[in-house]
Amino acid sequence: MLTLNIAIIIPFIAAALIPLIYKKIPKFHIGWFAIIVSVVLFIYLARYIPSIANGNVIENTVHWIPAYGINFTAYLDGLSLILALLITGVGSLVILYSIFYLSSKESLGHFYTYLMLFMGAMLGVVLSDNMMVLYVFWELTSISSFLLIAFWYQRKRSRDGARKSLLITVAGGFAMLVGFIMIYSMTGTWSIREVIGLVSEFSNHALFIPAMILVLLGAFTKSAQFPFHIWLPDAMEAPTPVSAYLHSATMVKAGIYLVARFTPIFGGEVSWFWLVTGVGIFTLFWGSFNAVRQTDLKALLAYSTISQLGMIMSMFGMGSAALHFGYTVESTFYTQATFAALFHLVNHSTFKGALFMVVGIVDHEVGTRDIRRLGGLITLMPITFTFATIGSFSMAGLPLFNGFLSKEMFFTAALNISEAGFFSLDTWGVLIPIIAWVASIFTFVYSMIIVFQTFLGPYQEEKLEHPAHEPPIGMLVAPGILALLVVGLFFVPNLLGDYLLRPAMASIFPTLSGEELGVPIYAWHGWESPELWMTVGVVIIGALLYIYRKYWTGVYRLFPEKWSFNVFYSFILDWMEERSTAITNNYMTGYLRDYLVYIYLFFIVAIGGTILYTGAYSFDISGNAPITTFEAIIAIVMMIAAISILFAKSRLTAILINSILGFGVAAFFVLFRAPDLALTQLIVETVTTVLFLVAYYFLPEWQKEDVPRRSRNVNIVISILVGVVFTVIALAVQNGRLFETISGYFENSYELAGGKNIVNAILGDFRAFDTMLEVVVLLIAGIGVYTFIKLKAKKEDEHFEDQ
């Protein structure tokens, strides 16, 4: 039976199978295999909608590291169900779209492998209850998105965009990890549900606020909130199907999900409220303001995504104020903001996914996304125009489209929160609806640019790479389905609200029920509704700004590119590369003796310092066995040999003298009655000496370097100190133990591991995992050698073919 854990793993299994299928069946389009996987997962998850709507939750646990409380627990509730359905549902449409969008000449095996990896990672994020498991999948989304963004790695901008997204999101992920560790130190559990149940016991802890800030850093970087938004526009260098998937239903929604999931823990705190609401509302404004100035359609959509994400984030912040009342009836006045956030989360996925696909169609058919070269496509691409109009008007918040409903609810939430009498909202709260309204005006403007600049006006065929025409029908199916959802959700929004939004609200506000979890969604609230007049103002002023934009767009000169966060990011990155290069060049001298000096100095400071700090240098040799004549003779011979190496005139002499040390150790093993070790030492020393002789035979004649006196003195001091440290360790280890010996544990090897030979038991059982990793290292090295051999053979074949 398929369980949630298996559902998460299935995309990873598919990712492993895709290269094999792609290679073995070259005529089969591998995209159809990928879409089967995603559709099956969507249907499987959709089966749980009635159960989740009735207040049930689904949980499956696989014990991973139970000693540390780290288990692979998949938990499906209302909140995770919404995201999981978006991941698999929109993912299926994106795959269908990509089958017709991408050329068969592309590396489709890699593309769908990365896409499946990303889908599995996102499912892991939204379905994991354990914070450590969530973090693992969180970073997997960063890695897989890096691979997707850099899919066209031949392009420098693709590589730079992928690197920027990876650096920013992974840095935020590290911060989030530290926050998780702090939460664990306060609660003693990694389970998010258990942490929610314990929140009253640690909310006054000194680490509570630092943990909250670190978790938010992870959320803000992933969801492209200001000032971490700079990675999102550069991620547009990915193929359009990737952009449609990452920025409508998955990657950027991970940060939104994290905020929603941790609202029951940190919500109600004034710091949480102002950080989430403040960052979100400013991101809303900044994204919409900058979207208007873009001339590339995908760049415009990127900034519109930033803006819409800020809108959703701010609503989650406003809704968290409900927890200030401790789940009382009064709190329901503010939970409407969270309900609106969840509603717009779904709406944004529908209209933004459709818009990205429309832009991809335009680019695919006419060869450009530059708004200045587009126009007049309505007569040549009427179906594409229809989808673009539906998506854009929904994003602008106009009636008859789902975006209008959630935008009205956003205005309601902003007005409600501005009237609150807590969190200093009686003074600063008035800014929230003002900023929301101004940002909505810019949203209207850039939405109109998408429609009218692209499809109306004169047709400029001379500026296009290809004559305009509709794409193949297969490329229109996916945006068509999303456009139908945009319109359909306007007329039956409460179907979504009852079956998905209310159960998700129950996940965020677990003690509320019934009508407290949401309000009926209506398109009309009467003429007295201030939200209606805010919308009217948006349309009127937005239309005027669009018509006369050439008279006011000069305001963007007040924000020159040289002062942007992108330039600051590039400056920091270049400075770090220069500094690291300079530092590396200083110590990477190319001389082996310098590297040995670094190693020995570190050894002296680290080990010698530890010995001095712990007082472990004390020792007592009075109880040691007496040194016999033979032992003394061997030791003296070895010391003479060691000193003689320093005065050797040739490599041959040095190698032979060095072998005396190895054979001397073998002689000690014989005296100490360890014949197996003596035999091993003799074989190893003999083979090593022979290999040295063979290798050095082919080297040029040894010319001793004239080492400066200062360097010789430094070498002498380091040599003496290393010798002293080793000697002290050897003497002190007998009675200077800092910890209890573990040898007694291994002596019981027969009962613990069933092995009568303690050495074999240690190597084969107690150190089995370590041995396995050593084998894996050898396997990886072997694969690398095999790859180089194959590449060399391929290059030689190509060379002969050219000749």
pLDDT tens readout for residues 185-215: 999 999 999 999 898 888 889 999 999 999 9
Q: Determine the average pLDDT of the residues in 553-575.
A: 83
What is the pLDDT, as a whole number, of residue 419?
A: 80
366 and 502 both lie in a single domain: yes
What is the pLDDT, as a whole number, of residue 327?
A: 53
Q: Determine the average pLDDT of the residues in 415-434.
A: 84
Assess contact for 118 and 144: CB atoms under 8 A. yes
Last residue of a domain, one of 722, 739, 756: 739
182 belongs to a structural domain: no
Per-residue pLDDT at 330 exceeds 60 = no
Count of CA atoms in the C-beta half-sphere (13 A) of 4: 26
Could you read off the pLDDT of 133-191 as tens digits, one per residue?
Answer: 999 999 999 999 999 999 988 889 999 999 999 999 999 999 999 999 999 999 999 99
What is the pLDDT, as a whole number, of residue 463?
A: 87
445 and 470 both lie in a single domain: yes
Q: Which CATH number belongs to the domain containing residue 603 in this structure?
A: 1.20.120
Q: What are phi and psi of 678, to 5 degrees?
A: -65, -45
Q: Which domain holds residue 726?
A: 592-739
311 and 457 both lie in a single domain: yes
What is the pLDDT, as a whole number, of residue 736?
A: 61
Per-residue pLDDT at 333 exceeds 90 = no
545 and 685 both lie in a single domain: no
544 belongs to a structural domain: yes
Domain count, the chain: 3
395 and 513 both lie in a single domain: yes
Q: Determine the average pLDDT of the residues in 321-346.
A: 78
Distance, CA of 223 to chain centre: 11
Q: Determine the average pLDDT of the residues in 532-560.
A: 90
258 belongs to a structural domain: no
423 and 308 both lie in a single domain: yes
What is the pLDDT, as a whole number, of residue 741?
A: 74
Environment class of 450 (CB within 10 Å of its CB; exposed 0-12, middle 13-18, buried 19+) = buried
Degrees, nearest 5: CA angle 641-643-648: 80
Q: Determine the average pLDDT of the residues in 86-90.
A: 95
374 and 399 both lie in a single domain: yes
What is the pLDDT, as a whole number, of residue 702?
A: 64
Lowest mean per-residue pLDDT among 385-399, 470-484, 618-632, 657-671: 618-632
More confident residue, 283 or 236: 283
Q: pLDDT category, 326, cuts 50, 70, 90?
A: low
615 belongs to a structural domain: yes
658 and 712 both lie in a single domain: yes
What is the pLDDT, as a whole number, of residue 800?
A: 47
- Which of the given ranges, 420-424, 540-544, 590-594, has the highest pLDDT on average? 540-544
528 belongs to a structural domain: yes
480: tokens are 């068509």
> Mean pLDDT across the chain, nearest whole number?
88
Lowest mean per-residue pLDDT among 239-248, 254-263, 317-326, 365-374: 317-326
Which amino acid is it at 703?
Answer: Q
What is the pLDDT, as a whole number, of residue 709?
A: 75
Could you read off the pLDDT of 7-30 as tens digits, one per residue?
Answer: 999 999 999 999 999 888 888 889
90 belongs to a structural domain: no
Assess contact for 505 and 339: CB atoms under 8 A. yes
Per-residue pLDDT at 799 exceeds 60 = no
pTM for this predicted structure? 0.80
583 belongs to a structural domain: no
Q: pLDDT category, 763, cuts 50, 70, 90?
A: confident
Q: Determine the average pLDDT of the residues in 437-460.
A: 94
More confident residue, 787 or 341: 341
Q: Any idea which residue has 């995209």 for tokens?
A: 31
396 and 500 both lie in a single domain: yes
What is the pLDDT, as a whole number, of residue 793?
A: 58
DSSP line for 481-493:
HHHHHHHHHHHSH
Last residue of a domain, one of 695, 722, 739: 739
Q: pLDDT category, 329, cuts 50, 70, 90?
A: very low
More confident residue, 482 or 331: 482
322 and 452 both lie in a single domain: yes
271 belongs to a structural domain: no
Phi-psi region of 457 (alpha: psi -120 to 50; beta: other; left: phi over 0): left
Q: What is the dihedral of CA 148, 150, 155, 159, to 10 degrees?
A: 160
308 and 435 both lie in a single domain: yes
CA atoms of 392 and 379, how far apart (whole Å):
18
Q: Determine the average pLDDT of the residues in 722-737.
A: 79
703 and 751 both lie in a single domain: no
Q: Determine the average pLDDT of the residues in 53-77.
A: 90
Instruction: State what percent of residues in the chain have pLDDT above 90.
Output: 51
Last residue of a domain, one of 518, 533, 551: 551
Q: Determine the average pLDDT of the residues in 52-81.
A: 90
Q: Determine the average pLDDT of the residues in 284-302.
A: 93
What is the pLDDT, as a whole number, of residue 646?
A: 80
